[in-house]
Chain A
Amino acid sequence: MASSIRVRATSNGDITEVQALIQHPMDTGLAKNPAGELIPAHYIQQLKFECNGKDVFVADWGTAVSKDPYVKFSFKGAKKGDDLKISWTDNKGASDTTTAKIA
């Protein structure tokens, strides 16, 4: 299966800009389906970005983050060709991991 995580990490030599898009329903547990039944909560709780053995950015998310979440941030201390590891876990215990090369 294709990874649920799409990442673009680009370095200008000093600062690395990271954009990530994750496919996930992010159900709040408050909405109903067309049959009138509650859709159980299903959302990503933690998303981690790791580079050179260090957590550079950790996101703790609740249900108020939009479906198919997007996040953007920048960090220093990495260079072109370094690996950026991205992983998430959701409230049902599911998870996914991917590694991107910084371009």
Chain B
Amino acid sequence: MTTTTGPVATRRLILQGAACVAVLGLGNLPFAAAPARAAANDKYPEEAFKQKSEADAIKALYGKTAEPSDKVKLDAPEIAENGGVVPVSVTTTLDKVTSISFFVAENPFALAASYKIADGTIPGVANRLKMAKTSNLIAIVEADGKLYSATKEVKVTVGGCGG
């Protein structure tokens, strides 16, 4: 059994090397092989933040689609009296979480924030977002290479009377 680890490790190293070369080589081409890795490296995902719809933003950020999951818990108010400051938080029971992102469907640009979760960091984050109007709020959790989402509608009352 121990003999198999040697060749496997070598093959993995070769594949990693090849992947690095590929990413470097294609780095200048928009929407080439890079988007799938965009969330994993340290670079600011400029393109994803420019997308208007949440579907395009998710694609630009992760290069794949998400499936709804009840293991992603999105906490946001039913009604936000001030769309400029909407407290939003996400927690999840999923393992191997590498990133958490927030999307506001009706905002001029859908992607609001994206967080990279390091090994040893608890997969959960709380922050405050702006919402232009009543909209679906989508949280995406990337765990073990797959995407899981939770969606909640937040009503934004314009005028601020709170009535």
Distance of A31 from chain B, by nearest CB (Å)? 10
Known interface pairs A63-B109, A64-B130; 12 further A-B residue pairs with C-beta atoms within 8 A, sorted by A's residue number: A54-B118, A63-B130, A64-B107, A64-B112, A66-B85, A66-B130, A70-B126, A72-B89, A73-B125, A75-B121, A75-B122, A76-B121
Stretch at the interface among B3-11, B28-36, B42-50, B64-72: B42-50
Q: Which residues of A contact B49 (CB under 8 A)?
A: 60, 62-63
Knowing A28-B130, A66-B84 are in contact, say whether A73-B118 is a contact too (CB < 8 A).
no
| Bound complex: CA A10 to CA B107 (Å) | 35
Q: Which residues of A contact B114 (CB under 8 A)?
A: 59-61
Number of A-B contacts (CB under 8 A): 99
A76, B115: Cβ atoms under 8 Å?
no
| Bound complex: CA A74 to CA B126 (Å) | 10
A57, B44: Cβ atoms under 8 Å?
no
Report which of B85, B86, B116 forms a contact with A58, defined as CB distance below 8 A.
B116
**Chain B residue with the shortest CB-CB distance to A75:** B121
B121, A56: Cβ atoms under 8 Å?
yes
Distance of B130 from chain A, by nearest CB (Å)? 5
B113, A64: Cβ atoms under 8 Å?
yes
Distance of B28 from chain A, by nearest CB (Å)? 20
**Chain B residue with the shortest CB-CB distance to A19:** B126
A71, B84: Cβ atoms under 8 Å?
no
Q: Which residues of A contact B112 (CB under 8 A)?
A: 61-62, 64-65
A6-41 CB mask vs B (1 if < 8 Å, else 0) is 000000000100000000001010100000000000
